[in-house]
Structure 1
Amino acid sequence: MHLLNLGILAHVDAGKTSLTERLLHSVGVTDRLGSVDSGDTRTDTLALERQRGITIKSAVVSFPVDDVTVNLIYTPGHPDFIAEVERVLGVLDGAVLVVSAVEGVQAQSRVLLRTLRRLRIPTLLFVNKIDRRGAREDDVLRAVARRLTPAVVPMGRTRHLGTPRARFVPGLAPTAAEVLADHDDDLLTAYVEDRLHPARVRAALADQTRRALVHPVYFGSAITGAGVDALIGGIRDLLPAADGDPDAPVSATVFKVDRGEAGEKVAYARVFSGTLRIRDRLPYGEPRTEGRITALGVFDHGTDVRADAVPAGRIARLWGLAGIRIGDTLGVPRPAPGHVFAPPTLESVVVAAPGTDRGALHLALARLAEQDPLIGLRHDEARGQTSVSLYGEVQKEVVQATLADEFGLDVAFRETTPLCVERPTGTGAAVEYNKKDGNPFLATVGLRVDPAPAGTGIVLRREVELGSMPYAFFKAIEDTVREGLGQGPHGWQVTDCTVTLTHCGYSPRQSHAHQGFDKSMSSTGADFRGLTPLVLMTALRRAGTLVHEPLHRFTAEAPADTLGALLPVLAALHAVPRTTRTRGAVCVLEGEVPAARVHALEQRLPGLTRGEGELDSAFERYAPVRSGPVPERPRTDHNPLDRKEYLLNLTRRVGG
């Protein structure tokens, strides 16, 4: 059986949901088209999705195309839910990126295709809404080539564009051979010598599409069905089949976790090799835990059915693994892909309404974080507060509504604030020696902190011999360093630095005569976990850190005669326009704006531009805080910045 795990991605409102419904209808899975407006689509199954008309969670639906079984993984388009897209990318064989023929290439389109190309995921483009007034063909193709990638191959032309009679006429563009020849010397030679056969071009197109070198472009309308049959043919003929040996050791990756009707965990996993079977006992997660699969399901012909076994290449639903989390590998571990999109750049404190059970709220938030690991929860026991990390205001509203609808919890949120980071500005070192200078821990730890280039993250190194003490003590130091960097001198996560272990030492296992092991005489992992934060914070303070705030890249389009009203507001919001250009009566501004000000800009823009302004934004980089006092974040640990307070909190004893 020929399998294909296909992702459908798009900027919000490009018509992704309508296209999915049209695909299911065209291949005979559904008898009637579902509609976003009527709230009866197959993929938006949550009540909240149907109420708001947006996709929040990824969904899977299967359909046949001749001898190919397609598992279509449907993803949200709104940038606030980009985490759902990130988890899906690692399990795809191919993708369809939907672009609007009216709105053209938008911010999320650029982010998505840039990521698909970096991950080398074969991708077709479908330009939707050709039946809508204002639809464009050549302009959109030029924008795709300029703003997304020049490696595009138009697969036909439109007729009656911008009218209900719009249709798509398949046929390779004359420029196809030129684009394909860029990646094939033999094809280039045949092209120059005018002996190129159409079959050779088609074969090169399939080969280069599967290698993610070029991207075929189809035009059509999900509403009328124009061009959809041609797209289905491209999915069948141009995208690669899922591979994997069903007889090899099992390796599968979890990309989604739901809860069943009884509250049990249900994991969605792509099987890369081997065969999953009911009653299999498999290791998963980190640290590795063994669990037994109690039930399995697969997707087939528009529904999900129970199965006794799921071979390599398929998407499985699994029951029985109580500790499973998104990103876990079942069986043979696979390399973690790391984050492909920017992490959340905002956070907000959850405020429980009077009478709300705080224990139930904590459990509900933990349940949401379990289904979305990028909803980072931060508990402040001293203040009795929980904050969540977010991508934007829409996500905050959805979390609030979910807590109310699914858990019966009435909550509000405080003002959204930016999630800053700290970066070291210099080098700092510190060391504390075992049994010296008031060190109450039976451990020696020395650390040096050095700045690293932006985007490096955290790198740990050693300048001591690995055999100089038990490995468990090294592990305790390294784990505590990573945890400690979550709160720098100003309370923000410290990143882009190298931390080097320069000194280490321990008290060997000892005991009094004729007695057992005595912890008061011998080092334990707790000694290293207790001492490391003190040494790390001292080294960080000596290095110095600078707080950086998240900046978004923005593009604002507005009538040119409103520019005079718009520029002062941008300045007041600390936005910095970098380029300004005019396109007829429209002015296009591009620049950077602090993430914390994006929502305010979205709210102000319509009033400043007679409702004609449009704004796209996406995370760009972190930059030093430019105005006002340095933002501080309350600590949630034992405060190793204050030695006396830390030791009293941690050990109830002070050395010296």
Structure 2
Amino acid sequence: MHTLNLGILAHVDAGKTSLTERLLHAADVIDEIGSVDDGSTQTDSLALERQRGITIKSAVASFAVGDTTVNLIDTPGHPDFIAEVERVLSVLDGAVLVVSAVEGVQAQTRVLMRALRRLRIPTLVFVNKIDRPGAGYARVLRGITEKLAPSGIALTAAGRLGTPAAHARPYGPDAPAFAAELAALLADHDDALLAAYVDGGAPLPYTRLRAELAAQTRRSLVHPVFFGSAITGAGVEALMAGITELLPTAGGDSGGPVSGSVFKIDRGPAGEKIAYVRMFSGTVRVRDRLPLHPVPRGAAERTGKVTAIGVFERGPAVPGDALTAGRIGTLAGLTDIRIGDTIGTPRPGPASAHHFAPPTLETVVTPVRAADRGALHLALARLAEQDPLIGLRRDDVRQETSVSLYGEVQKEVIQATLADDFGIGVTFRETTTLHIERPAGTGAAAEILDKDANPFLATVGLRVEPAPVGSGVEFRLGVELGSMPYAFIKAVRETVTETLGQGLYGWRVTDCLVTLTRSGYAPRQSHSHAVFDKSMSSTAGDFRHLTPLVLMDALKRAGTRVYEPVHRFRLDIPADLFGAVLPVLARLRAVPRTSAPRGASYLVEGDIPAASVHGLELQLPSLTSGEGVLEYFFDHYRQVPGAPPARPRTDHDPLHRTEYLLRVQRRVGVRRDDS
């Protein structure tokens, strides 16, 4: 029996969850197809999901097609919940991207396809809703090849579109025009096929074309397109056949070292953690004790003992004795487990790859009852372990907790979850935009052991300089690796990354290179009776306390510029309202790049600050009598004009030396140039 771990992805309302229901029904897993509108679907289990008719958290269901077990992961389509999709991408063997036959390619569709292509995840495209009025074939297919996948090719024909009788029929060897188009497409990626195609002799055997189609799809070179309807079932049989024929099954050695990735965490009836794991290698059994990675700074090895295993088989997870390589299952008993963790041996590559833009909004969560302040932070921390969307920022000085957001819908979800699961009522402050800082130039600073009122037993010199946009933070050694113990170098590197979370204006500093230019330490010393004397010997704590002072001094010398997130927008409005919309865009600091008539409407594309998007969404219905359609997605950061906005700091504030030293509870040294 083979296993295929399949993700279903789409722009919101494209019919992704309805397709999941249809696939489960076609595979005889469920007797009756649930309805998103009625809240009766298998994979939308949260009360809020059923109320709103949208997917908020990813869900797994399983079905069998022939000798293949398909673990299907239904992911959120709303852009506010993109972090749920983020985790799922790392565990997929293949994907089905759902596109509406009515709306065509939408903003979120493009964001998802870019990530799928970048990660080279084999992907099929399913054009849903061919039975809906306004459904298109050539128009939608053209949009797919122009905006999503230049190597897309339709494997099904569709007829009677826009009616309940709409149908889809797969092309076969009896369709010479299709075979010729397929041969031309495949020849672009295969020299032998190209030679045979150019030779101009007898048509290539259809069996060879199908075999090459499967091979190129599995290499993410070609993206087959299927048309159909999840509601009526039209075209779903052809899609199921395509899933097993064209997508690769899971690999992995069940006898190898244990290695798995945690992409979701739920809580059981008694509040225990339930970890959803994709196994890449090895076998996990009940009562196994597993190492967990990564290990936090300064912490002992993390381990957990498996007390129960769930294996997905024809629907939900069922109890099992073992979870083997290639499969997805649930593990209970790992009390310290977190989303994104690796169980067993870490896989090669970056520990956490980000495929989508980070959240660009932030808000302060305030309890309705002041007595709930402590409970609120604990509840948010518990939510954050299950939901990577919730990035917490605790301000101990003001006794406030902030959460990062992708959009306003998340507020409702967080508010409802806190009320229903924890009994805590909350309100939110006005949403603010998350900016970033980048170095404006190069700056260097150093603190020398026993000199310049340095109160720590450490020497640290750092140079900060700009790095290419999108490169993040890079730490380099400008000293010999053996110049001091590795634990001290590690302490400097980790503290640099942590300190750059708040720059000169309080925003995260990125796209910079930090080089350790000087180092020094006091060797381990003991009294005559061989007792270690901390006051005479350097510790990692000395470097962790000194590094923020040196780094922020260097950053002040370099200077930073503040940048705001900018979205690319696409606005479809009635043609006669084009003149009225332009002043509104100008007031919102939106910059139209292109505008063109399209029938009775006008299509405007351009850039808009993330801070202005919500305002445009609020004004658009009244401005266009409900006929305007807005799409947007994060595109880049641009420098903020005028005075840079600042955000209050939540750390010990190494920008102010005296206060910083008092807060870290060390003796205060006052430098002559201290201001």
* TM-score bin, normalised by smaller chain: over 0.9
Q: Does 1:564 align with 2:574?
A: no
Deviations 1:488-535 (A, max 9, x none): 010001000000000011111123433522111111111111111110
Partners in 2 of 1:525 and 1:312 — Cα distance?
Answer: 40
Partners in 1 of 2:95 and 2:576 — Cα distance?
Answer: 41
Partners in 2 of 1:303 and 1:514 — Cα distance?
Answer: 64
Partners in 1 of 2:84 and 2:431 — Cα distance?
Answer: 21
Q: What residue is the counterpart of 1:300 in the other structure?
A: 313
Partners in 1 of 2:488 and 2:235 — Cα distance?
Answer: 62
Asked whether the 8 Å contact 1:435–1:442 carries over to 2, the reply is: yes
Partners in 2 of 1:471 and 1:10 — Cα distance?
Answer: 47
Mean alpha-carbon deviation: is it higher for 172-181 or for 336-345? 172-181
- 1:188 deviation in Å? 1.8
Deviations 1:347-393 (A, max 9, x none): 00001113551121111100111012231100101111100001000
Q: What residue is the counterpart of 2:332 in the other structure?
A: 319
Deviations 1:128-185 (A, max 9, x none): 0100110000001111111112101211211111111100011053411111111112
Query: In percent, how many aligned pairs have the same letter?
Result: 67
Aligned pairs for 1:337-356 within 5 A: 337-356=352-371
- 1:451 deviation in Å? 0.3
Q: Does 1:165 align with 2:169?
A: no
- 1:209 deviation in Å? 0.8
Among candidates 285, 293, 302, match of residue 289 of structure 1: 302
- 1:194 deviation in Å? 3.3
Aligned pairs for 1:201-220 within 5 A: 201-220=209-228
Asked whether the 8 Å contact 1:352–1:358 carries over to 2, the reply is: yes
Q: What residue is the counterpart of 1:10 in the other structure?
A: 10
Q: What residue is the counterpart of 1:402 in the other structure?
A: 417
Asked whether the 8 Å contact 1:456–1:496 carries over to 2, the reply is: yes
Partners in 2 of 1:644 and 1:574 — Cα distance?
Answer: 41
DSSP 3-state at the match of 2:549: helix
Q: Does 1:630 align with 2:656?
A: no
Q: Does 1:276 align with 2:284?
A: yes
Q: What residue is the counterpart of 1:644 in the other structure?
A: 658
Asked whether the 8 Å contact 1:638–1:646 carries over to 2, the reply is: yes
Q: Does 1:447 align with 2:462?
A: yes
Q: What 5-or-longer segments of structure 1 have no aligned partner?
A: none
AA matched with 2:650 = T
DSSP 3-state at the match of 2:501: coil
Partners in 2 of 1:281 and 1:406 — Cα distance?
Answer: 30
Partners in 2 of 1:177 and 1:292 — Cα distance?
Answer: 53
Q: What residue is the counterpart of 2:73 in the other structure?
A: 73
Q: What residue is the counterpart of 2:561 in the other structure?
A: 546
Q: What residue is the counterpart of 2:181 in the other structure?
A: 175
Partners in 2 of 1:185 and 1:148 — Cα distance?
Answer: 25
Partners in 2 of 1:651 and 1:600 — Cα distance?
Answer: 46
Q: What residue is the counterpart of 1:146 in the other structure?
A: 146
Deviations 1:567-597 (A, max 9, x none): 1111111111111111111111111111111
DSSP 3-state at the match of 2:135: coil
Q: What residue is the counterpart of 2:249 in the other structure?
A: 241
Measured on the aligned residues, the alpha-carbon RMSD in Å equals 1.1
AA matched with 2:428 = F
Partners in 1 of 2:47 and 2:245 — Cα distance?
Answer: 36
Q: What residue is the counterpart of 2:528 in the other structure?
A: 513
In the superposition, relative to structure 1, how do residues 413 and 436 fare at CA in structure 2: closer, same or farther (>3 Å)?
Answer: same
DSSP 3-state at the match of 1:562: helix
DSSP 3-state at the match of 1:454: coil
Partners in 2 of 1:390 and 1:617 — Cα distance?
Answer: 16
DSSP 3-state at the match of 2:547: helix
Q: Does 1:185 align with 2:191?
A: yes
Q: What residue is the counterpart of 1:126 in the other structure?
A: 126
Q: What residue is the counterpart of 2:298 in the other structure?
A: none
Deviations 1:11-33 (A, max 9, x none): 00000011111111111111111
After superposing on structure 2, the runs of 4+ consecutive aligned residues of structure 1 that deviate more than 4 Å are none
DSSP 3-state at the match of 1:175: helix
- 1:337 deviation in Å? 4.8
Q: What residue is the counterpart of 2:590 in the other structure?
A: 575
Q: What residue is the counterpart of 2:341 in the other structure?
A: 328
Partners in 2 of 1:430 and 1:231 — Cα distance?
Answer: 61
Q: Does 1:264 align with 2:272?
A: yes
Partners in 2 of 1:147 and 1:292 — Cα distance?
Answer: 47
Partners in 2 of 1:504 and 1:272 — Cα distance?
Answer: 41
In the superposition, relative to structure 1, how do residues 515 and 119 fare at CA in structure 2: closer, same or farther (>3 Å)?
Answer: closer
Asked whether the 8 Å contact 2:84–2:389 carries over to 1, the reply is: no
Partners in 2 of 1:67 and 1:515 — Cα distance?
Answer: 68
AA matched with 2:659 = E
Partners in 2 of 1:57 and 1:443 — Cα distance?
Answer: 47
DSSP 3-state at the match of 2:465: strand
Among candidates 250, 253, 276, match of residue 258 of structure 2: 250
AA matched with 2:655 = L
Q: What residue is the counterpart of 1:34 in the other structure?
A: 34
- 1:395 deviation in Å? 1.1
AA matched with 1:151 = S
Among candidates 607, 619, 622, match of residue 604 of structure 1: 619
AA matched with 1:190 = A
Partners in 2 of 1:202 and 1:469 — Cα distance?
Answer: 61
Mean alpha-carbon deviation: is it higher for 420-429 or for 471-480? 471-480
DSSP 3-state at the match of 1:191: helix
In the superposition, relative to structure 1, how do residues 513 and 314 fare at CA in structure 2: closer, same or farther (>3 Å)?
Answer: same
DSSP 3-state at the match of 2:251: coil
Partners in 2 of 1:533 and 1:614 — Cα distance?
Answer: 47
Among candidates 226, 241, 251, match of residue 234 of structure 2: 226
DSSP 3-state at the match of 1:596: helix
Asked whether the 8 Å contact 2:317–2:329 carries over to 1, the reply is: no
Asked whether the 8 Å contact 2:309–2:330 carries over to 1, the reply is: yes
- 1:292 deviation in Å? 1.2
Asked whether the 8 Å contact 2:125–2:225 carries over to 1, the reply is: yes
Asked whether the 8 Å contact 1:512–1:518 carries over to 2, the reply is: yes
Asked whether the 8 Å contact 1:356–1:410 carries over to 2, the reply is: no
Partners in 2 of 1:572 and 1:486 — Cα distance?
Answer: 32
- 1:285 deviation in Å? 1.9
- 1:626 deviation in Å? 2.6
Partners in 2 of 1:514 and 1:186 — Cα distance?
Answer: 79
Give the count of matched residue pairs.
Answer: 655
Aligned pairs for 1:343-382 within 5 A: 343-382=358-397
Asked whether the 8 Å contact 1:90–1:337 carries over to 2, the reply is: no
DSSP 3-state at the match of 1:143: helix
Q: What residue is the counterpart of 1:472 in the other structure?
A: 487
AA matched with 1:545 = T
Asked whether the 8 Å contact 1:447–1:502 carries over to 2, the reply is: yes
Asked whether the 8 Å contact 2:363–2:402 carries over to 1, the reply is: yes
- 1:610 deviation in Å? 1.5
Q: What residue is the counterpart of 1:617 in the other structure?
A: 632
Q: Does 1:533 align with 2:548?
A: yes
Asked whether the 8 Å contact 2:80–2:406 carries over to 1, the reply is: yes
Q: Does 1:194 align with 2:194?
A: no
In the superposition, relative to structure 1, how do residues 527 and 362 fare at CA in structure 2: closer, same or farther (>3 Å)?
Answer: same
AA matched with 1:279 = R
- 1:635 deviation in Å? 0.5
Mean alpha-carbon deviation: is it higher for 131-140 or for 195-204? 195-204
Deviations 1:180-233 (A, max 9, x none): 111112222222323211111111111111111101100011111110111011
